[in-house]
Structures are given as C-alpha cells and as structure tokens.
Amino acid sequence: MLLSLKIENYALIHSVQVDFPSGFTAICGETGAGKSILLGALTLVLGQRADTDVLLDKQKKCLVEAVFEMKDSYRPLFEADDLDFERESIFRREILPSGKSRAFINDTPVQLSLMKEIGGRIVDIHSQHSTIKLNDKAFQLSVLDSYVSDKALLADYAKEYGEYSELKKRITEEEKSLAEFEKERSYLEFVYQELENAGLQEGEQEALQEEIELISNSEQIKENLSSALVLMDNEQYPSVLGNLAEIKHILSKIARTNNKIEALYERVDSALIELKDINNELASFNDGVVFDADVLERDSERLDLIYRLEKKHALSSVSELLALQSDLSERLNASLDKSSDLEVFKARVQTMEKELEVKAEKIHELRIEAAKKVEENIKSLLFDMGMQNAVLKIRIQKRNFLNEDSFDDVEFMFNANKTRTEELRALNKTASGGELSRLMLGLKAVMADEYNLPTIIFDEIDSGVSGDIAARLAGIMRDMSKKRQVIVITHLPQTAAGASNQFKVYKQVVDNQTESNIILLSQEERVKEIAGMLSNDKVTEAALANSRELLAWFQRP
C-alpha cells in the first residue's frame, strides 16, 4: 500500500508531504485546486514520462518520492532485477531543469520501464477517462482472464505463442533472404564454376611470368651464359677455374710454413669448390634454356586467362581469386543449409501450432466458465448500485486463427434496462456515462480480488451519478477497502462521507505565487467540508446536520 508521498517543485506544488492511511481515503477540493496534480505526481513514481513543463521553478529540479509497504510476494520481482527488497520501498523520480529524468527504487537507479512494471503490480489507477477502456477488447479480455482458474495455462500459452511468433518471423526472413539469393544464384554458380574450371594455384601467376620471361629471352640468356662458362673453365684460354687451381697448387707448397698462408690456402680451396659448383649450375641452367614456342604460347594463354579473371572481378592476384572462389562456395553451400533449416523450422511451426491449438481450446473452455462468474458477480454489484435490471453478457467467439490471446474474440454486451438477451448491445452503443462509471467500478471490484492489488486509486469514478446511487458506490468502495487500500478523488459528498479518512486539496497564495497544498481533515472539519459539498459551499445548519447524518450513516456498524 501507499504509505506516503513527497512532492517538491511539481506544477502548482512547492512542497508537500502526505501520509496515507490504510482503508478507504477520499481526496476532495474545489475544481482546479490540484487534486489531479497530486495524482499526476504519483504517476511519475509509477513510471510515467514527464518533461520540464512540470517544474514550478524552472531553475530547480522536481522531486517525487513515494513509500510503499511491500508484501513478501514481491521479493522475487525485486531480486529478478538485482534490486534491494525492503518492506518499505522508496520509489523516487527526479526531473532536472535540463529535461533529464532519473528514476530510483530503494536508491538504485532503474529504467522507467522497470519502475512502470513494478509500479503496475502495486497500484492500479482509474483516471477520469478510464471508462473509455471499457470498450477496449484488450481490457475486456483482461477482466475475463482475471477469473480464469488456470493462470499458469494462460502464462504458458503466452510464452509459447511468443516463441511461435518469433519462429514464424524467422521463417519469413529466411524465405526472403533465400528468394533474394535465388535471383543471383545462377550467376554465382557460373562465376564459381568458371573459377573452379580455371584450376588456379597459389603462386601460379608469378611462376608463369618468370617462365615466359625466360623463354622470351632464351637466345640472349644462352649467349651470355656461354660466355660466362668460357671464362669460368676453358682449356684453350686462361680461365677462372684454371688460374685458381694453379694458385691453389702454388700455395700448397708453402702452406705449412706459415699459419696465415695456410689459412689463405684453405680459403682458395673453398673458393675453388664454390666456383666449381657455380660453374656446374651455370652449365645445367644453360642446357635447360630452350626456346619452346608451344610452351610460350601455352603459358601466355594461361596468364591471359588469369589477367581476364582478375580484371573481371576487379582483383589483383590469384590469391584474391582463390578467396573469391572459396567465398562463393561457402555462400552456395550456406543456401543449401538454409533451405534445409527452413524445412525443419516449418515442421516445428506446425507442431507448435497444434500444441497451441490444444491449449487455446482449454483456455476457451476456462473462459466460458469464467464469463459466468464475472456475469454473476457484476450482476450482484450492479444491483447494489441501483441497476436492478442491468445485464452484462460476455460473448466469446472463436476466430479461425490464433494470436497472443488464443483464438477467442471477447466482447462485453450490456443493457441497463430490462430486456431480452438478444437485445444486448456493445457498451459504446448502449451505456450512459453514469452507467459506465458504475460498471467500471463493478469490474474493478471483481478484478481487485483476483489480482490482489494492494492499492486502488479512483479519480472521479463517481462522476455522472448522485444521491442514493453515489452512496451505493461509496459503499462498494468501502467494502473494497476492507482488503486493500482505496483512495478516491471525488466531488461527491456521499463518497467523501463513505471514506474512513478525508483529505482536502486547496490553493493558497505564498509570496505572490499560487500554490496547491493538502491537509488531512479532522472529524469536525469533515463535517464542515461535506456540508459545503451538500449545499454548494453555503454551510447552513441544515447542511451541517445533513453532513453529520451522512457521516454517521456510513460509520454505523
């Protein structure tokens, strides 16, 4: 339940601290005094958005802080989001002049969405325009489902339908991706096959270029190699190897006489061995240099093929062409895998759909049972509110497709007058404003027990009614308050008198600025306030007497 509310620098409120009692509390005041402002501030700590327009002083931040008494059943909700659970939990909002907003639960910063989720579990607010929700099929379904006996089945269905929807969405995306791929598949297969047929090898391009260069210059290469071989080793002329062999022979005669000479001899011997090896390689290479027109043509054609492929695909090497070939192979194989996965997904969707249909059928049967309970309970409450002939019928029809609510189409049919069942009509076509207010109160009453909400706040839910009917509505709210905290903003004396506690919101001028404030009325102050409400602010002795009588009537055992 709501224990206290602290508001600073919000709209017309400079600074207010309100402690709320349990039971049934009424908040009264003249139109424009700030009752709705008070409620608006509370919605901030329940996760609603705000902007700097709410700042009374545009240079200071706005602070709204609410303290709620929490049951142990809410502990898992806190722990699931790593929040400290406190019996008296503090929800705080700060709106800065810059426009930034900060939200805290027990001094831990939280996202607004989380604050809204938790706030929605502990406080239900019926605003002045909430009767519009009566025509909303989602709201009507929530009323009905509050009476469904197997809540776990509803939760399981919702969870599985979410997974089912995600899988269908994935199938659609995969089919779209495959369809787009199919448009270019033939081209990709052609390109891949062209590269595959080319049989490219790493380093091939460089080897071809080198071989072509060698064959193209074979005559010049052989001529120069021959000259080099003659200089290296020739019996008719002085040669490198001949001269070096002679030098080795000369040094061998004196090598043992001196260490340095011996070292030089060894170096000459090593050089001779190395030069002989070079000579052999030159001779071997020279023998291998042959001008072969067929090989030259073959290599040139092969190199031309590589150049064409590089140019075609805007690449610059065989390595890049091979990388492209590998990528195309992976893409083509992936498309085959996707096609296979799609078949698996589609089979899974069909299985899930059948499972959902079984659950939906069970939910349909449970909703038919729940509808009877809601109709009976509402009929009793409407009777107590002076609508003895009113009938609410919940029509449940099956659609030919599933959605997140199964395949049930739910609609509230209503008539406030004595009539045949077939003459029932949709709410927006048959109920007046006052009738809608009473019906909404009745629905809130039946839902409150099912959802076990600790606090319900009504903002002028009694609008459009008066007299005895208003007293009956007050009595129902008083009964609701036996199990939970009920707070009502009202202009009706009957509702105010029915409450166990009464606050008054009023305006005052402080330092030439209008501000809203709120006070808890004593018993005698309540008598005067209700008397003013009974007599249009003219507090007469008769009005005071009527006020005392009205308060006494509600306070009887």
Write the pLDDT tens digit of every residue in 378-401: 888 888 888 888 888 999 999 888
Residue 357 has pLDDT above 90, yes or no: yes
DSSP state of 7: E
Tell me the mean pLDDT in the region 240-245. Answer: 86
DSSP state of 511: T
Residue 84 has pLDDT above 80, yes or no: yes
Amino acid at 434: G
219 is written with which tokens? 């005559």
Amino acid at 352: M
Residue 302 has pLDDT above 60, yes or no: yes
Nearest to 131 by CA among 364, 461, 410, 457: 461
pLDDT at 367: 95
pLDDT at 129: 63
Q: How far is Cα 411 from Cα 33, in angstroms, rounded to an integer?
A: 39
Q: How far is Cα 527 from Cα 84, in angstroms, rounded to an integer?
A: 44
Question: Regarding predicted confidence, which is higher, 338 or 66?
Answer: 66
Nearest to 391 by CA among 401, 404, 378, 403: 378
Place of tokens 């194989």: 333
Q: Give the list of residues 6+ apart from residue 502 with CB closer than 8 angstroms, or none.
A: 25, 26, 27, 28, 496, 520, 521, 526, 529
Q: How far is Cα 438 from Cα 141, in angstroms, rounded to an integer?
A: 19
Tell me the mean pLDDT in the region 3-20. Answer: 94
What is the DSSP secondary-structure string of 324-362?
HHHHHHHHHHHHHHHHHHHHHHHHHHHHHHHHHHHHHHH
pLDDT at 336: 66
Q: How far is Cα 316 from Cα 156, in angstroms, rounded to an integer?
A: 58
Domain boundaries, the chain: 1-128+436-521, 180-335
pLDDT at 420: 58
Residue 421 has pLDDT above 60, yes or no: no
State phi, psi for 418 to the nearest 5 degrees.
Answer: -65, 125
501 is written with which tokens? 């506690």
Work out the number of other CB atoms within 10 angstroms of the CB of residue 141: 20
Crossing angle for the helix pair 541-554 and 467-480, to the nearest 10 degrees: 40
Percent of all residues in the chain with a pLDDT value above 90, rounded to a whole number? 35
Q: How confident is the model at residue 88 (pLDDT cuts 50, 70, 90)?
A: very high
State phi, psi for 175 to the nearest 5 degrees.
Answer: -65, -40
pLDDT at 7: 95
Residue 523 has pLDDT above 60, yes or no: yes
Question: Regarding predicted confidence, which is higher, 429 or 12?
Answer: 12
Residues forming beta bridges with residue 400, ordered by sequence position: none
pLDDT at 417: 79
pLDDT at 108: 93
Amino acid at 15: S
Label residue 515 left, alpha or beta by phi (over 0 means left) and psi (-120 to 50 means alpha): beta
Q: How far is Cα 439 from Cα 434, in angstroms, rounded to an integer?
A: 9
pLDDT at 166: 92
**CA distance readout (Å), 545 to 275, 527, 531, 539:** 136, 9, 8, 10
Percent of all residues in the chain with a pLDDT value above 70, rounded to a whole number? 96
The most confident of the ranges 29-33, 74-78, 286-290, 340-344 is 74-78
pLDDT at 131: 67
pLDDT at 519: 94
Q: Rounded to two decimals, what is the model's pTM? A: 0.66
Residues forming beta bridges with residue 18, ordered by sequence position: 5
Q: What is the dihedral of CA 318, 319, 321, 324, to 10 degrees?
A: 170
Residue 22 has pLDDT above 70, yes or no: yes
Residue 359 has pLDDT above 90, yes or no: yes
pLDDT at 135: 80
Residue 182 DSSP SS3: helix
Q: How far is Cα 531 from Cα 502, in angstroms, rounded to an integer?
A: 14
State phi, psi for 32 to the nearest 5 degrees.
Answer: 90, 0
How buried is residue 482: exposed, middle or buried, by Cβ count under 10 Å (0-12/13-18/19+)?
exposed
| Residue 281 near residue 292, CB atoms below 8 Å | no
94 is written with which tokens? 């700060």
What is the DSSP secondary-structure string of 436-469?
HHHHHHHHHHHHHHHHT-SEEEEESTTTT--HHH
Q: Which CATH architecture has domain 1-128+436-521?
A: 3-Layer(aba) Sandwich (3.40)
| Residue 499 near residue 24, CB atoms below 8 Å | yes
Amino acid at 62: C
Tell me the mean pLDDT in the region 73-94. Answer: 91
Residue 97 has pLDDT above 60, yes or no: yes
What is the 3-class SS of 150-175, one letter each residue?
CHHHHHHHHHHHHHHHHHHHHHHHHH
Q: How confident is the model at residue 65 (pLDDT cuts 50, 70, 90)?
A: very high
C-alpha 314: how far from chain center: 42
pLDDT tens track for 99-134: 899 999 999 999 999 999 999 888 988 876 666 677
C-alpha 299: how far from chain center: 61
pLDDT tens track for 183-212: 777 777 788 888 888 888 898 888 888 888
- Tell me how long the chain is: 557
DSSP state of 73: G
What is the DSSP secondary-structure string of 210-225?
HHHHHHHTHHHHHHHH
pLDDT at 557: 64
**CA distance readout (Å), 20 to 3, 362, 486, 522:** 5, 43, 10, 14
Instruction: Write down the mean pLDDT value for the chain.
Output: 87
How buried is residue 479: exposed, middle or buried, by Cβ count under 10 Å (0-12/13-18/19+)?
middle
| Residue 371 near residue 394, CB atoms below 8 Å | yes
Maximum CA extent, the chain = 154
Cα four-point dihedral sign 328, 329, 334, 335: positive
Query: Which segments of 29-184 are extended strands (E)?
Result: 62-69, 88-95, 101-105, 108-109, 123-126
pLDDT tens track for 457-500: 998 887 777 788 888 888 889 988 998 999 999 989 999 999 99
Residue 422 has pLDDT above 60, yes or no: no
Lowest-pLDDT choice from 73-82, 358-367, 457-466:
457-466
Q: What is the dihedral of CA 300, 305, 306, 308, to 10 degrees?
A: 120
| Residue 454 near residue 485, CB atoms below 8 Å | yes
